[in-house]
Amino acid sequence: KMAGSSTPWIGSAYLFLQSTCKTIMLPSLYESSQKKPSVFRALKLALADSTGSMNGVDMLKVHCSHPHLIVQLKFCKQENCRRFLQSYREGALQRSLQSHLQLSLAITTVPLEMELKAGSEHLDNMLKDEDRCLECIYREKPDRLRDEEITELEECLKNLTVQQSINNNVAVKDCAPLKSLSPPNLSQGSSHPPPVSFTFQGQQFDNRTITPDDHQKFAKLVSKRWKQVGRSLQKSCRALRDPAIDNLALEYDREGLYEQAYQMLLRFIQSEGKKATIARLIAALEENGLINLAEELLGLHSNEDC
C-alpha cells in the first residue's frame, strides 16, 4: 500500500530519451560543456510544464548512455506525479520537451522517443492504469541525493532568471558559460534591445519585463480570451506558435482558465527572457480590445474587472 497521510509520498522513476534523428545525439549534446546548460534548461522547463510547477518533480541525475539520455526523477507529492503521468501519457511532455530543445539549441526539429521505467517495470505498458504506475513509482525510493552537477545547473538557471528580471542588460557573473541558457533569436528583431518606453492611450510608460504581479493579474482577468492574446503574441514568439496554444489548452483543461492563461504567459516569459516586456503584452491586449486589462496592468485603475 502507498503511504498514509502521516508519511510523505516519495517515489522515483527513470525517463529514457532518444532522438530519432541520426544527426542529433542527446548524450553527446549533454556531454558538451557548451550545450549542456541548454539541454538542462529544456529538460527543466518541460518537466515544469508537465506538473504545472518548477518544483513539481526533481531531477537527481542525468546519465549519458548512448544513444539514450536518462533522467532520474524524484517525486515528493502524489498529485505532482499524477500530473506528470497524465502529461507523459497524452504526449504533452514529449511535445513540450521537443519545443524547448528546439528553442534552447536553435535546432529546427528534435524528434524524440521516450520510455519511462520504475525499477524493472516498464511503465509505458501500463500507462492506462495510473494507480498501478503510481504504486510502481512509489515503491522505488530514490537511491541517491541530487547530483552536484544538477545543483550547479539549477543555481545558474535561477541566477540567470533573477538577473534577467532585475536588469535588462543581464551579465551573468560566475556563470559565463551558461549564457547559452537564454536561446538566441527567439523573436522578430531579437538583435535589437527592447525600447525603453512605449505609448498607450497618449501616455508614455517605461518599458520593463513582465513581473510576477503582472503575470497573476493577467491570468486572473483575461478569462477565456487568453487564447486570442496568445495568438497575438505568437507572431513574434516562436514558443507560442501552433500547435503550442492548443496543446496548453488541452494540457491544463482540468485546472481551468486561470491556469491555462498563466501557463501561456509563462511560456512567453520563459522563452523570451528579457524581451518578455510589458509593452509587447499591452500591444497584444490592445489588439484584442482588452483595454481594461491593459489599464489594470499599467496601474491606471484598480478593482475593475476586464
* Dihedral sign computed on CA atoms, order 184, 186, 189, 194: negative
- Per-residue pLDDT at 59: 96
Which residues lie closer than 8 Å to 22 by C-beta, 6 or more apart?
A: none
Give bridge partners of residue 114 from the DSSP assignment: 17
Helices 244-251, 92-105: crossing angle, 10 deg rounding: 140
- Per-residue pLDDT at 223: 94
Spans of all domains in the chain: 11-151, 197-298
Report the C-alpha gap between 207 and 195 in whole angstroms. 7
- Per-residue pLDDT at 166: 52
- Per-residue pLDDT at 22: 85
Q: List the chain residues with pLDDT less than 50.
A: 1, 3-4, 167-191, 303-306
As given in the structure block, the three cell numbers for residue 252 are 491544463
- Per-residue pLDDT at 161: 56
Architecture of domain 197-298: Orthogonal Bundle (1.10)
- Per-residue pLDDT at 300: 87
Does the domain at 11-151 match CATH 3.40.50.620? Answer given as no
Q: How many C-beta atoms surround the C-beta of residue 158 within 10 A? A: 11
Concatenating the DSSP letter of every residue in 135-196 gives: HHHHHS---SPPPHHHHHHHHHHHHHHHHHHH-SS---TT-GGGGGGS-S--STTTTSPPPS
- Per-residue pLDDT at 188: 41
Domains 11-151 and 197-298 share a fold: no
- Per-residue pLDDT at 186: 37
